[in-house]
Amino acid sequence: MTIVKPVIIVHGGAKTISENDVAANQAGCRAAIEAGWAVLIQGGSAAGAVEAAIRVLESDQTFNAGFGATLNSEGEVEVDAAMMEGATLGWGAVAAVQGVRHPIVVARKIMEEKPRLLVARSGERFARNHAVEICAKEALVSEEQYQEWKEEIEVLDRPNTVGCVALDADGNLVAGTSTGGTTGQPQGRVGDTALVGCGLYADNQLGACSTTGDGESIIPVVLAKTAIDALKDKHPDAAAQWAIDTLISRVEGEAGCILIDRQGRIGWAHNSPDMAVAYMSEDLVQPAIFTRKDQTLVQSL
């Protein structure tokens, strides 16, 4: 019997990280990876680990997911999230929902009940009917995001989708993504995050991927599936870079992706200036944390 070593990786979005926000991005990714890793080392599922990690990111206004997400054209927070597992190719997603504190929880419940994408009021109704934490839609608007929206401030640290990929001791792979979309987006706009093959993909025969970046650029190149298909003959690092290179060669835009293959090997790449990433495995004493790919290890905490 093959022994599978659990591994988990998270990203805080393909974006520019200013010097003032480096510590916050590192701390947020560290907290997320620790939450997910705690599930895995206790024998928990990859789905549980992905949910735990992304819940942390959705609670941290450093990231564009849940509380602190960007505001749309009407000054509202509309969030998207999805989860996919590689054993049966099961998936679930919500898009353009309001007043849901942790959309990744809703996505997981949909995945476990019946694969589908629920939008707006349909997604909100599902959340209420399944006892997912609901809040006033204004409760997800951070003061910082509101002021930036109200004053139309150009923000250096362009926020973006967060995500997580995990492999558990049973050999199951799961990917998850969560986002608040883009600043000032039209009400009801849906990007790549909730779309299987674009914002995420998981297949136990190959690997799992979560993407981040410009949704309108990620969708036409089906970035997550493109990266997964590359695992047939490439290491995850090479597959991730090949997927990003494919995007660059066909469309304009910034993007990033994280990968774990069925052997538990990690890979990631991005063409944005920065992308906060953290990962953990049994081979590490502490999580490895980076703020961009070409950087020496930030810290092993």
- pLDDT tens, position by position, 76-127: 899 999 999 999 999 999 999 999 999 999 999 999 999 999 999 999 999 9
Q: Does the annotation place 191 within a ligand binding site?
A: yes
| pLDDT under 70: residue ranges of the chain | 1-2, 142-159, 295-301
Distance CA 52, CA 120 (A): 24
Query: Is the separation of the CB atoms in 287 and 34 below 8 Å?
Result: yes
Count the helices and strands in the chain (H runs, E runs).
8, 13
Q: Which residues are registered as beta bridge partners of 136?
A: none
Q: Does the annotation place 36 within a ligand binding site?
A: no
Tokens of 109: 């419940």
Residue 296: per-residue pLDDT = 56
* Sheet order of strands, 162-167 included: 117-119, 91-97, 79-85, 173-179, 162-167, 7-15, 274-281, 288-290, 299-300
Active site residues: 161
How does DSSP assign 133-172, residue by residue? -B--GGGG--HHHHHHHHTTPPPSS----EEEEEE-TTS-
Q: Does the annotation place 179 within a ligand binding site?
A: no
Domains and CATH numbers, the chain: 7-300 (3.60.20.30)
Query: Is the separation of the CB atoms in 169 and 4 below 8 Å?
Result: yes
Query: Is the separation of the CB atoms in 264 and 234 below 8 Å?
Result: no
Q: Is the pTM of this model over 0.75?
A: yes
Q: What is the pLDDT of residues 26-46, one digit of tens each?
A: 999 999 999 999 999 999 999
Q: Does the annotation place 237 within a ligand binding site?
A: no
Q: Does the annotation place 184 within a ligand binding site?
A: no
Query: For the stretch 78-103, what's the b/e string if a residue is b when 16 or more beta carbons lie within 10 angstroms of its beta carbon?
Result: bbbbbbbbbeeebbbbbbbbbbbbbb
Residue 299: per-residue pLDDT = 46
CB atoms under 10 Å from CB of 277, counted, come to 25
Q: Which of 44, 28, 199 is nearest to 107 (CA)?
A: 199
Q: Does the annotation place 215 within a ligand binding site?
A: yes
Residue 154: per-residue pLDDT = 58
Residue 93: per-residue pLDDT = 98
